[in-house]
Amino acid sequence: MTLAVDVRGLNKSFGDKHVVQDVAIQVGTGRITGFLGPNGSGKTTTLRMLCGLLTPDSGEGEVLGLDFRKEAERIKRQTGYMTQKFSLYEDLSIEENLTFVARVYGLDDRRRRVREALERLGLDNRRRQLAGSLSGGWKQRLALAASILHEPRLLLLDEPTAGVDPKARREFWDEIHALSAEGLTVLVSTHYMDEAERCHDIAYIAYGRLMARGTGEEVIARSGLVTFRGEGPGADRLARELAGKPGVEMAAAFGAALHVSGTDRAALEAAIAPWRKPPFRWSEAAPTLEDVFIHLMGQSKDNFE
């Protein structure tokens, strides 16, 4: 597998805050890699260093076969970046925004490129609508169209579906997978577990440190977590009673049921023992990504504390 990203020893500080600490990451060409972690963990900072928008304090490696420190300008020309906040002109139409972006990049055959982008993202019928009047889902489509207009080899998405309805999110991810199938490498930061599961692999960053890497199944398997699912009348209300007991790293309601997780099986079983009788029913369940991420958050220290 050829690598689109191969960097190591990545560090970045702002004042006395070390927000990215010795991160090493490899991403294969055409892969979709999800960046997950708590707010303020350095996900966006890492993405911006990889595409040349931020200069790292230290680190070495290649992005798109180029030295990511010495050839940042060349990398930027081959990267699309969709920011979390809508950053196009709201008083311009969809078509005018894309034409402006095409001019910024100095693209040739601009009319054809804009027309194809409009058609690909289903924006053609709305081409004259002002960007400021669009709903969140349509703004998202426009932002994606703008970020791929120059046919990049690497696409960075910073929490791209925040505040977007489920249908629009699914359509967005269908398009991302179509782009990936064409060879585009995608790095995406997200807080949605269902989106993490749609990535080919994930990287979990907590307060500047890379704590887990691999497919969702691999990250779950390496966590060492044991999870029990409790069901029955009021099972979901046991979370407060179980939280903090020896062996219980997480107790959370899932609908009317309860998930209780930890890495020490014996201690976990001892904690739930008083409730392992009717009317409650308990069974061992596979940990979810959410279980694993809460577990990892408990192992990390906020570098802004």
CATH at 243? 3.30.70.860
Which pLDDT belongs to residue 301?
66
Q: Is residue 291 part of a domain?
A: no
Q: Is residue 143 part of a domain?
A: yes
Read off the tokens for 218.
């691999």
> Is the same domain home to 187 and 262?
no
Q: Is 204 helix (H, G, I), strand (E, B) or coil?
A: strand
Q: Is residue 46 part of a domain?
A: yes
> Is the same domain home to 108 and 49?
yes
Which pLDDT belongs to residue 300?
65
Q: Which domain holds residue 52?
A: 3-219
Whether pTM exceeds 0.95: no
| Planar angle of CA 59, 64, 66, nearest 5 degrees | 55
* Percent of residues in the chain assigned helix, strand, coil, to nearest 5: 35, 30, 35
Q: Does residue 68 contact residue 61 with C-beta atoms inside 8 Å?
A: yes
Domain boundary among 163, 197, 219: 219
CA–centroid distance for 292 within its chain: 15
Q: Name which of 290, 274, 285, 165 is nearest 228 in CA terms.
A: 285
The count of structural domains within the chain is 2
Which pLDDT belongs to residue 68?
92
> Is the same domain home to 54 and 191?
yes
Which pLDDT belongs to residue 276?
93
> Is the same domain home to 106 and 82?
yes
Which pLDDT belongs to residue 168?
87
> Is the same domain home to 90 and 153?
yes
Other C-beta atoms closer than 10 Å to the C-beta of 75 total 24
Q: Is residue 249 part of a domain?
A: yes
Domain boundary among 165, 200, 219: 219
| Planar angle of CA 258, 302, 264, nearest 5 degrees | 40
Q: pLDDT tens, position by position, for the chain (305 residues)?
A: 799 999 999 999 999 889 999 999 999 999 999 999 888 888 989 999 998 889 999 999 999 999 999 999 999 999 999 988 888 999 999 999 999 999 999 999 999 999 999 999 999 999 999 999 999 899 999 999 999 999 999 999 998 887 788 888 899 999 999 999 999 999 999 888 888 999 999 999 988 899 999 999 999 999 999 999 999 999 999 999 999 899 999 898 888 999 999 999 999 999 999 999 999 999 999 998 888 888 887 776 665 55
> Is the same domain home to 111 and 243?
no
CATH number at residue 97: 3.40.50.300
> Is the same domain home to 96 and 187?
yes
Q: Is residue 241 part of a domain?
A: yes
Q: Is residue 58 part of a domain?
A: yes
> Is the same domain home to 206 and 262?
no
> Is the same domain home to 181 and 264?
no
> Is the same domain home to 180 and 255?
no
Which residues of the chain form beta strands (DSSP E)?
3-14, 17-28, 32-36, 58-63, 66-67, 79-82, 154-158, 185-189, 201-206, 209-214, 226-231, 250-254, 257-262, 281-285
Domain boundary among 162, 193, 219: 219
> Is the same domain home to 234 and 159?
no
> Is the same domain home to 41 and 152?
yes
